[in-house]
Structure 1
Amino acid sequence: MTRPQEALDFTTHDGQRLHYRHWPATADNRNGAIVLFHRGHEHGGRMAHLVDELDLPGVAFFAWDARGHGASDGVRGDAPDFATYARDVQTFFDHLAAHHRQAAADTIVVAQSVGAVIIASWLHDYAPDIRAAVLAAPAFKVKLYIPLALPCLRLATRLSDRVFIKSYVRASLLTHDPERQRSYATDPAISRQISARILIGLADTSRRIVDDADTIDTPIQLLLSGRDHVVDRRPQLDFFARLPHPDKECHLLEGFFHDTLGERDRHLALAPMRRFILRQLEVPALPLTRLAAHLHGQGCAKAEALGRPLAAGSLKAGYWRLMRAALGVGARLSSSLKVGIERGFDSGAMLDQVYRHRAESSSRLGRLIDRVHLDAIGWRGIRLRRRHLEELISLAAGCLRDEDRDLHLLDVAAGHGRYVLSAVAAMDPAPDSVLLRDYSEHNVAAGRAMIQQMGLADRVRFNAGDAFDRASLARISPAPTLAVVSGLYELYCDNDRVMDSLCGLADSMAEGSRLIVTNQPWHPQLTFIARALSSHRQGEPWVMRCRSQYEMRQLLHASGFVVETLRIDPWGIFSVMLARRLPQ
């Protein structure tokens, strides 16, 4: 018997209307939910058969149409960038919690192909508290067959933002099921086009997620097709090998084409999938603890490897010695490089240069070096992090005003304070009090000068203070109702220091107060940073240990905060989390 279906819509984060289907549970003993995510070009209706075939009457089902697919709004096969899909997923889960009372912790995700890559990136970048995920034939590497296809597409997108390609995949390459072949060929809601921007984003995101899969702390079942003509198997196996959760499975289905869950003999895939789902719903896996990730695990090992000196006389040591010398020469011409060399590339002074984003050197060559330096991907991520900070500061301030609470704003490591002062200047009404702190007297002096320059001296104080001194933070008066920690914890590998800082803030903040924290779950230039750039701790290399989103969420929760929402850049480098103080 076919289960009744509801056709519904929700509005995602940027105002787009997205369509989804809902199949309510038909048994009295409700037991969680399954959310279905379709493959590229298709829509949620192509996965509707799973609702009846899995035979789980106590489980509610949902299936979305991704933006630009099916009945959802958007240009067919396109989005602002690939990361937009992951944020859409997070918004969808927020909608399910608000309108269907469906908690993420009671939900299992089932995703195919491109949908599986979207979900893998969501698990990595947002660390949702879902029960488990089933990923079928994830499209971590699409077989493009044409030599140099991706480099040519990258070049084409530099010339035009409206480059689309048509899928070469025929229905007969997806499944042996004749009915599925016919429906694929005749379904008017299927669009065969995909934008080059999204295809490039799929490739770049897949590479990042596969390489960093050891930070995805979710039980995962992988279903792979043995005769997949659409995607390569090697990255799928690499992804599975790196997954850290002990509750993981990988099933290779011999003879299956790419449409794993729509194959003629799909009962061979659905049987282990159903068993995995039932086990997860009945006996939830114990969460992994990452509070001591600075002492063990892959992140710790990577950071320690970057901190070790290279063998004297080796080619690598010589290469990085030349690179540091080249930066020193460049600093004679480039004002932005000079600030990094003299003050540290992780200093507040360097951060202010990045925020201002101006080529200010006196010579033409120096300005060219400025531009190349300031346009590096890490600095681009930091400028987007600033916009996310200002957005969440405004959001948090609005929440506090709606709750009829005073707004006492604190930034514990403000650097020069440019971003927070810009946010304060735009606030209407103004905060009841603003206190900026920084360990560096140079930063305090520069910040005070900026306060005077912006005409904010009547409402903003800037004092010296240690962001890791728990007792000092606990004594701050007036007690902050909105605290900001930006660009600080990323610079320190030690979670114990981070916990001291977070607990000091928790000691000073009442229930319902808000905390905004930045995090760095991944960075593409860790080796260059550690081997070539100097830190504000003069004489020490700038070695960073990336913290997974899961780890940062655990640190916040252990110190008395729960994450309400977050923002992350399209490259997955910097996130900004808005958390609420829990009852003590």
Structure 2
Amino acid sequence: MRVAQEKHFITHDGSTLFYRYWPPAASQTTEPRAVVLLHRGHEHSGRLQHVVDELALAEVAMFAWDARGHGRSPGPRGDSPSFAALVRDVDCFVRHIGNTHGIAVTNLAIIGQSVGAVLAATWVHDFAPRIRCLVLTAPAFKVKLYVPLARPGLALIRRLFGNFFITSYVKAKFLTHDPERVRSYDEDPLVTRSISARVLLGLYDAADRVVADAQAIRLPLQLLISEKDWVVQRKPQDDFFERLGSPIKERHVLPGFLHDTLGERDRKLAIDTIRGFIERMFRAPPPRESLLQAHRSGYTRDEEVRLREPLPTVSLRRVNFALTRLSMRTLGRLSEGIRTGLATGFDSGSSLDHVYRNEARGAFLIGKLIDRGYLDAIGWRGIRVRRLHLMQAIVRAAKELRTTGLALCVADIAAGYGRYVLDAVDQLPERPTSIVLRDYSELNVAHGRALIAERQLGDVARFETGDAFDEEALAALTPKPTLAIVSGLYELFSDNELVARSLRGLARAVDTGGYLIYTGQPWHPQIEMIARTLTSHRQQQAWVMRRRTQAELDELVGVAGFVKIDEWIDDWGMFTVSLAHRA
């Protein structure tokens, strides 16, 4: 029996979470390697001791956490600020393992069970870590709620009355045939019987998104399905596997198994299957497929092509989008936001500045009501969260630069009005040495200069016209930036060669030790509605976007010479903000 060391780590919001660390039981003959275990919902890391022992990977370190709200980690039992907060906790845990225990992310295997499996799948989708492999057992992509209309009912109750808690109906005898596991589950005081509505609904939403977009996941992956699972549904697991973009993937259906796959009476079958997979992946890591040509071929390119094609003449969707366009161009003009979007493009700096201000404006009361509905669309809500994350990233980069003694020289190459940069500067303990804001639009430049004057930053800031894809002009930025920012730009352009040119210019401008903040859009639930109803700033063409997966975006940034060190993402998984260090 391997003996665990009890440890703690600080996660993204300052909370201190508990975890167990089992050092290797034998001397390591290779680079340090580790397996990270993510427990089922309601459980905790102490119930994984038998998995550590039975895997019998003597040269491999083992880690298992208590998710917040579980076991010995703090927080209301079964609750979290959001499901996305739990996913980011996973990212912080893995970064902590690298920084504290010296184990590279490329030498990590992750095993996620049930809810832990959905956390792991969402993490690899949204954060694109380059781990060695991923094992999912009985992933809770769709929990069986036996009450009709339970999910919309829970959402309605939460909307009306706020968060609340649900006690699990599942008894231990429906989890495993192992009588010892049944007894220990019933007697364990650290087992959490409840789950909050916001975590359960967030689990559903994240699972729907990850199953639908499983092609974005390209890691070696093994899926174990329990044949007699009373807790979660089988079909989403199969759908996920069929859509996986992983060149190496395995699916194993375990006959007669209940939901607690790794705690079943006959779990040796599952454990042996997992051990063999992990050993193969550690022994001979598969080559990484490059995504630099994803704009020429791949599933996001196929999606972009479909969005550019007209819908069938006789089609309810075609009629629906036509009516939406008509309403926006008639009654919708009473809304300032819609009117601005129609005039300058819904992706323009003017349009985004209205979204950032988040003040309903329009002609008469009806215009303000329409504008409020427009501003509350999920895409614009995500954009405002992205703005907050951009400000957090700027503050973090400024702190890092101050720690290393480098001056803060900011350059934003497609700033729009530059409002979010100037708002972030207001939060800094001291002014930057310089702020250079650039944009292609003379209108944006004029408004940005007015904002600089309004904030009385004229002594350190300037706004100039510039092309964000001109490599030579970017390389010649003066003063040389120590923090370069590209926000909301690369998402609008499908061509990776264009993005690569921009990043090469920034890499030439930013010296070693500097930072890059960049944004992405790996997912958007309204991407077809946008393509078929909204116009872009580019000659008022249809606003058709190619989603660029986080793995693809990170590869482009890495090839240019930057190393990602942190990432933020909204609760809906739409917009990412990443911070990278100049290697």
TM-score category, normalised to shorter length: over 0.9
Q: TM-score, normalised by structure 1?
A: 0.98
- Report the CA distance between 1:268 and its aligned residue: 1.1
* Structure 1: unaligned runs, 5 residues or longer: none
**Residue in 1 that maps onto 2:372:** 371
Matches of 2:25 and 2:260 in 1, distance apart?
Answer: 28
**In the alignment, is the contact (CA less than 8 A) between 2:345 and 2:540 conserved in 1?**
no
- Report the CA distance between 1:97 and its aligned residue: 1.3
**In the alignment, is the contact (CA less than 8 A) between 1:425 and 1:456 conserved in 2?**
no
**Residue in 2 that maps onto 1:485:** 486
**Residue in 2 that maps onto 1:525:** 526
Q: Output aligned runs, 1:156-555, within 5 Å.
A: 156-312=157-313, 314-555=315-556
Runs of 4+ with deviation above 6 angstroms:
none
Q: CA RMSD in A?
A: 1.1
Identity percentage of aligned residues: 52
Read off the aligned partner of 1:487 and give its amino acid letter: G
Read off the aligned partner of 2:317 and give its amino acid letter: K
Q: Secondary structure at the match of 2:96?
A: helix
**Residue in 1 that maps onto 2:25:** 26
Give deviations 1:378-405, integer Å, cap 9, x for gaps: 1111111111111111111111121111
**Residue in 2 that maps onto 1:113:** 114
Q: TM-score, normalised by structure 2?
A: 0.98
- Report the CA distance between 1:57 and its aligned residue: 0.7
Instruction: Report which stretch shifted further, 76-85 or 15-24.
Output: 15-24
Q: Secondary structure at the match of 2:35?
A: strand
Matches of 1:315 and 1:194 in 2, distance apart?
Answer: 40
**Residue in 2 that maps onto 1:36:** 37
- Report the CA distance between 1:331 and its aligned residue: 3.1
**Residue in 2 that maps onto 1:7:** 6
Matches of 1:17 and 1:452 in 2, distance apart?
Answer: 43
- Report the CA distance between 1:161 and its aligned residue: 2.5
**Residue in 2 that maps onto 1:567:** 568
**In the alignment, is the contact (CA less than 8 A) between 1:245 and 1:288 conserved in 2?**
no
Matches of 2:13 and 2:430 in 1, distance apart?
Answer: 26
Q: Secondary structure at the match of 1:359?
A: coil
Q: Secondary structure at the match of 1:578?
A: strand
Give deviations 1:111-152, integer Å, cap 9, x for gaps: 100000001010011111211011000000000110010111
**In the alignment, is the contact (CA less than 8 A) between 1:330 and 1:337 conserved in 2?**
no
Read off the aligned partner of 1:457 and give its amino acid letter: G
- Report the CA distance between 1:554 and its aligned residue: 0.3
- Report the CA distance between 1:424 and its aligned residue: 2.2
Give deviations 1:64-104, integer Å, cap 9, x for gaps: 11000011111000001101111101111121112111211
- Report the CA distance between 1:512 and its aligned residue: 1.3
- Report the CA distance between 1:246 and its aligned residue: 1.4
Q: Secondary structure at the match of 1:39?
A: coil
Instruction: Report which stretch shifted further, 373-382 or 323-332.
Output: 323-332
Matches of 2:288 and 2:143 in 1, distance apart?
Answer: 33
* Structure 2: unaligned runs, 5 residues or longer: none
Read off the aligned partner of 2:256 and give its amino acid letter: G
Give deviations 1:442-465, integer Å, cap 9, x for gaps: 111111111112222222110000
Q: Secondary structure at the match of 2:17?
A: strand
**In the alignment, is the contact (CA less than 8 A) between 2:332 and 2:370 conserved in 1?**
no
**Residue in 1 that maps onto 2:104:** 103
- Report the CA distance between 1:360 and its aligned residue: 1.6
Give deviations 1:34-73, integer Å, cap 9, x for gaps: 1111100000111210111111110111111100001111
- Report the CA distance between 1:240 and its aligned residue: 0.7
- Report the CA distance between 1:29 and its aligned residue: 2.0
Q: Output aligned runs, 1:37-186, within 5 Å.
A: 37-186=38-187
Q: Secondary structure at the match of 1:381?
A: helix
**In the alignment, is the contact (CA less than 8 A) between 2:218 and 2:247 conserved in 1?**
no
- Report the CA distance between 1:581 and its aligned residue: 1.1
Q: How many aligned residue pairs are there?
A: 581
Matches of 2:53 and 2:388 in 1, distance apart?
Answer: 45
**In the alignment, is the contact (CA less than 8 A) between 1:112 and 1:135 conserved in 2?**
yes
Read off the aligned partner of 2:58 and give its amino acid letter: P
